């Protein structure tokens, strides 16, 4: 297995705030790697360090074979970044954006124009190519943003919360594109707050919490860590009245149901029991200090052992 990104003991603080501490990470070449974490966990700082925007205070990071500190231009030659705010020029047209980036990536005039047309066609932007980007929809802007990252087919592509603010359809479109980019051989490193996104896209997932990797593995490995089936008590309109994680055994399920039995809610009209597989949500809540209600978190963690 070739390693596309390897980080050891990365630390970064801004003034008094310790954003990353002792972060270790390895990403296999050709895979999609999802970095998951609540707001403020240090996801963007991690990307900033890997893409040479920010220098780490301590630790080493090697991206596509080049050290981010000693050879930043070597890293830059081999990566593309699609940041959180769309890095497109609003005044220029879609084609002008692509040609500009091609020229800035060392392509000649003719080659740049050819590459731009190719990408416009393939990202379904040919009809809008001559229109200023300011008139594009959010989804089109994101597609152009990603096309700009692919002007040169670099080895590693960084996506910082690529689908934030997109509607469901545009999100689905973008997921497909990212998957296809990875299938073509590039390594994709993405951060996200959406668990579904990580579940659908990422081969491996790392959960970042308070500047450290709190857990790492495939989605099913992570889910297995939380335990077995989750027992839910549902109200008449399918609303969740109570929820217990179990170890998946008959005894465990019965204990959870017994526990519901002792609550007043279980006797309400139309109340019933349902069982579901643990989701990445459960993993996230169990592992991070994220924006979960404390009571529910305590439930999850308390019933784990």
Partner 1 sequence: MTMSTLIDAVTGPSAPAPAPPALRMRPRGLTAEAVLIRRSITHSLRDTEALLMAVLLPTLLMLLFTFVFGGALDPSGGYVDYVVPGIILLCAGFGASSTALYVARDMTTGIIDRFRTMPMRASAVLTGHVVASVLRNLFATGVVIGVALLVGFRPTATPAEWLAAVALIALYILAITSLFAAIGLAASSPDAANAYGFILLFLPYLSSAFVPVDTLPDWLAWFAEHQPITPVIEAIRSLLTGTLMGDAAWWAVGWCVLFVAIAAVWGGRLFRRRARRR
Q: In the complex, which residues of this chain contact partner 1 (CB under 8 A)?
A: 14, 51-55, 73, 76-81, 83-89, 91-92, 96, 100-101, 103-107, 118-119, 121-124, 132, 147-148, 150, 152-155, 176-177, 180-181, 183-186
Q: Which residue number, 148 or 300, has a Cβ lying nearer to partner 1?
A: 148
Q: How far apart are CA 92 and CA 248, in angstroms?
A: 57
* Smallest gap from residue 153 Cβ to partner 1 (A): 5
* Smallest gap from residue 183 Cβ to partner 1 (A): 7
Q: Which residue number, 42 or 227, has a Cβ lying nearer to partner 1?
A: 42
* Smallest gap from residue 278 Cβ to partner 1 (A): 31
* Smallest gap from residue 220 Cβ to partner 1 (A): 25
Structure tokens at 55: 């220098």
Whether the CB-CB separation of 62 and 47 falls below 8 Å is answered with no
Q: Which residue number, 148 or 230, has a Cβ lying nearer to partner 1?
A: 148
Judge residue 236's burial from the number of C-beta atoms within 10 Å of its C-beta, 0-12 exposed, 13-18 middle, 19 or more buried: exposed
Query: If you compute the radius of gyration of the chain from its CA atoms, what whole number of angstroms results?
Result: 22
Smallest CA-to-CA distance from 83 within 34, 142, 8 is with 142
Phi (first) and psi of residue 195, to 5 degrees? -70, -35
Q: Which residue number, 177 or 283, has a Cβ lying nearer to partner 1?
A: 177
User: In the chain, which ranges are E strands?
Assistant: 3-14, 17-28, 32-36, 58-63, 66-67, 79-82, 156-160, 187-192, 204-209, 212-217, 230-234, 240-245, 272-276
Q: Which residue number, 53 or 301, has a Cβ lying nearer to partner 1?
A: 53
Q: Which residue number, 23 or 286, has a Cβ lying nearer to partner 1?
A: 23
* Smallest gap from residue 192 Cβ to partner 1 (A): 17
Phi (first) and psi of residue 234, to 5 degrees? -105, 145
* Smallest gap from residue 91 Cβ to partner 1 (A): 5
């Amino acid at each position: 297995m070739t390693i596309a990104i390897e980080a050891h003991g990365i630390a970064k603080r801004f003034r008094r705030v310790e954003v990353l501490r002792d972060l270790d990470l390895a990403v296999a070449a050709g895979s999609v790697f999802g970095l998951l974490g609540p707001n403020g966990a240090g996801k963007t700082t991690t990307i900033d360090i890997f893409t040479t925007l920010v220098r780490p205070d301590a630790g080493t990071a090697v991206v596509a074979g080049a050290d981010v500190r000693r050879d930043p231009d070597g890293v830059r030659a081999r990566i593309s970044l699609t940041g959180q705010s769309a890095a497109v020029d609003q005044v220029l047209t879609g084609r002008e954006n692509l040609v500009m980036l091609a020229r800035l990536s060392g392509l000649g005039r003719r080659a740049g124009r050819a590459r731009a047309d190719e990408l416009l066609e393939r990202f379904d932007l040919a009809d809008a190519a001559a229109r200023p980007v300011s008139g594009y929809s959010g989804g089109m802007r994101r597609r152009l943003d990603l096309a700009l990252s692919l002007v040169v087919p670099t080895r590693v592509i960084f996506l910082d919360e690529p689908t934030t603010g997109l509607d469901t359809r545009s999100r689905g479109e973008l997921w497909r594109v990212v998957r296809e980019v990875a299938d073509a051989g590039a390594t994709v490193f993405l951060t996200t707050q959406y668990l579904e996104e990580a579940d659908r896209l990422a081969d491996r997932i790392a959960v970042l919490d308070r500047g450290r990797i709190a857990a790492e593995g495939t989605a099913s490995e992570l889910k297995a860590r939380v335990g077995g089936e989750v027992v839910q008590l549902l109200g008449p309109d399918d609303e969740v009245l109570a929820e217990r994680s179990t170890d998946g055994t008959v005894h465990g399920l019965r204990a959870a149901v017994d526990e519901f039995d002792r609550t007043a809610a279980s006797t309400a009209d139309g109340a019933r029991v349902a069982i579901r597989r643990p989701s990445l949500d459960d993993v996230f809540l169990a592992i991070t200090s994220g924006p979960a209600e404390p009571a529910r978190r305590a439930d999850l963690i308390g019933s784990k052992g």
